[in-house]
Chains A and B, each alone.
Chain A
Amino acid sequence: MEEMERKLPGGALSSRPLHFIWIADCSGSMGQRGKIQALNNAIREAIPHMVAVANENPNAQVLVRAVKFSNGSQWHVAKATPMEQFRWEDLEADGVTDMGKALQLVAEQLDVTAMPARALPPVLVLVSDGKPTDDFSGGLRALMEKPWGTKAVRIAIAIGDDADKATLQRFIGHPELEPLQANNAESLVRYIKWVSTAVLQSASSPASQTLDASPTTNVPLPPVPEAAPDATDVW
């Protein structure tokens, strides 16, 4: 049969957006014993790995942002940035731990008007070394009131023994998945790389499932890596 010369039916095509948001603690304590610099290094080192994962999954458009919180909360990277254009500017540590305000800020972006229904479940990664100093419950409530808040893959990394793991557990919202405990720079790198690659990979190509399917997360997660052993730099 003669081949038809006709454009594809429909309007503009697009891969499905996948929003990945770092939520980073920049309180004063993060400035102690090199924690903030370790976080900066770990995220910066993860970028090429994230680009590789994004390239392997052309049907997901990975868009990255970052929120920082200390005295209040601000977008560190406000624009949802395509992975290949994403650059990391160093965070600096100073002030208190207004984690609730950070969740409020993220919640504003999880409305279906800002993140359409065809998007893939977003990935939210909360990194903290301390206890919230503001209304964390209010921030979490605002987040979970958004449909994409409940559907999000929520991962938390606790830096050091002073991190409030109970609070981070509430953010995750699933008893089966605990906060990742990083007590040294090597462990932090390992966990940041895990969320940047393995979790991003799972979130980039999530297979469909029923509403009641996954008791742990909205996207099947790969095994969590072990903390780095024999590290000398202990937080």
Chain B
Amino acid sequence: MSGREGVAPVEGWQALRASVRGAAHIRSGAANQDATAIWQAQPGRLPLVLAVADGHGSAAYTRSHIGAAYAVKIALRVLARDLLSRLIQPGVPPDLTQLKRICDEWLPKVLVRSWQERVQHFTRRYPFAPAELSLLSAKGTEEPADSLTPYGATLIACLLTEQFHLYLQLGDGDILTVAGDGTISRPALPADARLLGNETTSLCMANTAESVRLAFQPVLGEPPALVLLSTDGYANSFVDGASFEQVGADLLAAIRADGLAAVGEALPDWLAQTSAAGSGDDISVALALHLSE
């Protein structure tokens, strides 16, 4: 299954998301285990939240598509409601130093705890089937009936405001920002050398709040024209990092030339072709676009 949703075409900030089942998943019969979400308070304006999540594909992660769906939903709730509503007072300029400290100390714990509570609630409503318990018992590292493992997923999200941009990442995947002249950058997230091959940090791991990486960027000049979040199936489809980063500039050029709606129509097919010729993995993106005149 593939999906696409565009926010109504308006001036200022707009957003788009798309998610496609990977070519290898189609061959094996596996579902698309990614999820995406967008929140925007008012059309064309900030604040805006993007989120993508990638549910793990190995056998024990029987509910990872559910874990990914909850991950993006909770990211939106925590960033759009909890962080904005509770920490930023209308009409009062935010104290960015204090806000950054709160994000560093508070945000990872709240995100992870909220996700864990939500999937545990789901388990209470829909207990694991014997086959799922058998897989968990074989893993042998936790109490199977209370396990978080079946829901394992990564999470990438960003909160864009007029004053600051906040990027967060747990596990693999990519964040690109594209300046108006097409220059590509990546937010200054701490590197995580453990993310190699098919192994990743995850919402389902113990003490995982410590693995959430954050980049807090005050907006000092012109904001990026494009912010792109993507699951790892996208970057893994290219011969090298530069070839993947070219995606950011190409999407910006395509949107400028043909409009967001047209790119939104074409994007699922582009992603499917990319997966087929590349990683074979599910590919999901969420992007925010800022066209200044």
Contact = CB atoms under 8 A, between A and B. Distances in A.
Contacts of B251: 9
A117 B239 CA distance: 11
A200 B82 CA distance: 47
Nearest to A207: B57
Interface of A is mostly: loop
Contacts of B239: 11-14
Interface residues of A, number: 42
Given A4-B262, A10-B246, A59 B24 contact: yes
Interface string B36-74: 000000000000000000101111110000000000000
A210 B202 CA distance: 6
A15 B246 contact: no
Interface stretch (B86-94, B100-108, B116-124, B270-278): B270-278
B189 interface: no
Contact of A218 (B194, B198, B265): B198
Contact of A210 (B28, B200, B232, B279): B200
A205 interface: yes
B205 A13 contact: no
Most central of B61, B141, B201, B236 by chain A CB within 10 Å = B236
B113 interface: no
Contact of A11 (B195, B242, B263): B242
A63 to B, nearest CB: 14
Given A11-B242, A13-B238, A13-B277, A206 B139 contact: no
B269 to A, nearest CB: 9
A214 B141 CA distance: 10
Most central of B28, B239, B281 by chain A CB within 10 Å = B239
Interface in B173-227: 193-202, 204-206
A9 B270 contact: yes
Contact of A4 (B30, B199, B258): B258
B235 A118 contact: yes
B237 interface: yes
A213 interface: yes
Interface in A126-164: 147-148, 151
A119 B274 contact: no
B258 A6 contact: yes
A215 B140 CA distance: 9
Contact of B199 (A6, A13, A16, A151): A151
Contact of A8 (B149, B236, B274): B274
Contacts of A213: 56, 58, 60, 139, 199
A3 B263 CA distance: 10
Contacts of A220: 58-59
A162 B201 CA distance: 42
B254 interface: yes
Contacts of A15: 277-280
Nearest to A119: B197
Interface in A8-46: 8-16
Contacts of A212: 141, 205-206
Contacts of A16: 236, 278-280
Interface of B: 23-24, 28, 30, 54, 56-61, 139-141, 149, 152, 172, 193-202, 204-206, 232, 235-240, 242-244, 246-247, 250-251, 254, 258, 262-263, 265-266, 270, 273-281
Given A10-B247, A210-B149, 9 more contacts: A1-B265, A3-B266, A8-B274, A11-B240, A11-B246, A59-B276, A206-B197, A209-B61, A213-B58
User: Lowest 3 A-B CB distances belong to which pairs?
Assistant: A11-B243, A59-B280, A207-B57
24 contacts: A4-B258, A4-B263, A4-B265, A4-B266, A6-B258, A9-B247, A9-B254, A10-B237, A10-B243, A10-B244, A10-B250, A11-B242, A12-B243, A14-B239, A15-B279, A16-B280, A58-B280, A59-B275, A205-B24, A209-B56, A209-B152, A210-B149, A210-B201, A210-B204
